Amino acid sequence: MSTGFNASANAVLDGVVASNPRVPGVVAMVTDRHRNIYEGAAGKRRLDQAAEMTTDSAFAIFSTTKAITGTAILQLVEQGKLDLDAPARTYAPDIGKLQVIEGFDAKGEPRLRPPKRDVTTRMLMTHTAGFGYDFFSHTYNRLAQEKGQPSVITSSKASLMTPLLFDPGDKWEYGTNLDWCGQIVEAITGKRLGEVFKTRIFEPLGMNDTSFDLTDAMRSKLAGVHARGSDGSLTPMDFELPANPEVHMGGHGLYATVGDYMRFIRMWLNDGAGDNGRVLKPETVRMAAQNHLGDRKVTALPGVIPSLSNDAEFFPGQSKSWALTFMINDEQAPTGRPAGALGWAGLANLFYWIDRANGFGGFWATQILPFGDPASFVGYLNFETAFYDSLKLRKAG
C-alpha cells in the first residue's frame, strides 16, 4: 500500500492548501493496529505567520474530545462505579434540576416543565438526553441571544445548565451530553477530568501532547484557527479556550497533536490495549462499538450560527447510528469505509474514522470555522477515499 497511498495522500494534502478556496494547513495520518502507516502535513500553521504546518503541530481538537470522555465513562462502568442506566443525577445532582423547554410565551419567556423521565448516562453517551448546542439549535440560540445563556466556549458550569429540548430518551440531538459525562467522571473519581485522563488514558497510551491546558511547548507549535469568509477568504483568529477553565469540558476542551490521537485510535483498533498498558477490556470495546440508538437515527446538523457551522451531514441519504460514543455508518460509505465503522468530527473541521473490521483508522486536522467547510470536508473525504482505493488494490493484488 505504502508507495501508492503515500503519493495519493500527499496529492490530496498539497491540493487542499493550493486550491481556491484553500485550507491554511492540514495534518493527516493513517494507522494500522501497530503503527502509523502515513503521516502528512501541508500548508501553514497560521496564514499570517511563516511557520510551516508540521506533523507535530498542536490543535484545538473540539468534539474529537468526546470519545476520550466516553472512554473514561466506560472505565468506571468496568469498575462497577457507574450504572449507565441509573439516573445521571445520582452522580451529578445538578442535571436533575433541568427542565424541558416547550417554546416561549407571548412575553418571550421560556415555557418549562419537568421531564417525563430521568436523564441517564447512557442517554448522555448516545446524545439522546435532550441537550443541544446553540450553533445547531434555534431554541438554544434564542436563549443565548435573549436570555444570556453562556456559550460552551466559556468552559463554565453555567453553560451546562441549559433546559432540555425534549424528554430524555425521545430522539437523537447532538449537544453538551459529553460535558455532563465529564461532570459524572469528576463526581465519581473526586478528581478533575484532565487528571483522570492523564493517569487512566494518556499515560497508558503514551499521549504526552494532549491536555485541557495549553502548555508553552504546545503553544509554540499551535495551529491557528481561521474564519472562512463568505467570499472564501481566510482570516486568522486569536482563538484559545479559557486557561485554567472552571470546567474541563468533556465535549470539546482538549488540545492535542494528531500523532497523540492516533494512539487513541489504535487502542480502539486493539480491543482496548495501548502502547503502555490496557485502557479498556476487550469485551467493553466490543460492547461500546455496537449501535446503542436502537431504531433511532443520527440526523443532519443544521447550521444555526453561520460563523460556527454550515448545514452538515456525513454521507447524506445513508443511515447512521451511534455507539458509545461514536457515529456508526450503517452502510458502506461512498469513501469505501465499511458498514459498522466508527467516526466523528470536531467543530474546526477535524475528522476521524476507526475501521475495526480492517484494522485501520485515520485523522484529518484543520483549524477552520465554520464546521462543514467545503474545502476541508471534501479534502478529508478524498483522503479517506484514497486510502480505501489503495486498500482495495492491495487486496486485489
Domains and CATH numbers, the chain: 2-64+193-396 (3.40.710.10), 77-186 (no CATH)
Round the average pLDDT of the chain to a whole number and report it.
96
Query: Where do the DSSP E strands lie in the chain?
Result: 25-31, 36-43, 58-60, 100-104, 110-113, 225-228, 234-237, 255-257, 273-274, 277-278, 320-322, 327-329, 342-346, 350-355, 360-365, 368-369
The residue written with cell numbers 486557561 in the block is: 243
What is the mean pLDDT of the segment spanning 130-151? 96
Q: What is the DSSP letter of 52?
A: B
Cα distances from 260 to residues 9, 197, 227, in angstroms, run 20, 13, 26
Query: Which string of b and e fits 320-331 if b means at least 16 CB within 10 Å?
Result: bbbbbbbbbbbe
Given a cut of 60, is residue 70 above it in pLDDT? yes
Annotate 57-104 with DSSP letters as a single string: -EEE-GGGGHHHHHHHHHHHHHTTS--TTSBGGGT-GGGGG--EEEEE
- Mean pLDDT for 323-350 is 97
Closest CA to 48 of 224, 240, 230, 239: 224
CA separation for the pair 269, 355 (Å, rounded): 7
Contact indicator for 45, 221 with CB cutoff of 8 Å: yes
Contact between 253 and 155 (Cβ < 8 Å):
yes
User: What would the mean pLDDT of 18-41 be, rounded to a whole number?
Assistant: 97
- DSSP code of 309? B
For residue 126, how far is the Cα from the chain centroid? Answer: 13
Q: Which residue in 16, 7, 3 sits closest to 364, CA to CA?
A: 16
Question: Does residue 1 carry a pLDDT above 60?
Answer: no
Burial of 30 (0-12, 13-18, 19+ CB in 10 A): buried
Catalytic residue among 63, 159, 211, 390: 63
Dump pLDDT digits (tens) for 216-262.
999 999 999 999 999 999 999 998 898 889 999 999 999 999 999 99
Q: In 190-272, at which residue ranges do the beta strands (DSSP E only) sit?
A: 225-228, 234-237, 255-257
- H/E element holding 183? helix 177-189
In whole angstroms, give the CA distance from residue 138 to residue 142.
6
Residue 2, pLDDT score: 61
pLDDT confidence of residue 394: 86
Angle of CA points 282, 283, 284, to nearest 5°: 90
Which of 91, 133, 140, 174 is flagged as catalytic? 174
Cα distances from 325 to residues 42, 102, 375, in angstroms, run 30, 28, 27
Please, which pLDDT band fits residue 331 given cuts at 50, 70 and 90?
A: very high
Cα distance between residue 263 and residue 205, in whole Å: 6
Catalytic residue of the set 57, 66, 261, 352: 66
Q: What is the pLDDT of residue 121?
A: 98
Q: How far is CA 175 from the centre of its chain?
A: 11
Mean pLDDT across the stretch 119-135?
97
**Does residue 174 have an active-site annotation?**
yes
- Rounded mean pLDDT, 171-193: 98
Q: By C-alpha distance, which of 370, 298, 369, 373 is closest to 330? A: 298
pLDDT given at position 99: 98
Q: In this structure, are residues 7 and 21 in contact, taking their beta carbons and an 8 Å threshold?
A: no
Q: Which pLDDT value is given to residue 335?
A: 98
Per the DSSP assignment, residues forming a β-bridge with 343 are 327, 353
Side chain identity at residue 284, one-letter code = T
At 197, which helix (H) or strand (E)? Answer: helix 193-197
Q: Average pLDDT of 158-185?
A: 97
**Percent of residues, the chain, with pLDDT higher than 70:** 99
Output the CA–CA distances (angstroms, integers) from residue 308 to 65, 75, 118, 273, 368, in the order listed.
18, 33, 31, 36, 9
Q: How confident is the model at residue 396 (pLDDT cuts 50, 70, 90)?
A: confident
What pLDDT, on a 0 to 100 scale, did the predictor assign at position 201?
A: 98
Average pLDDT over residues 178-203: 98
Averaged over 362-373, what is the pLDDT? 98
pLDDT at residue 310, as a whole number: 94
Per-residue pLDDT, 320: 97
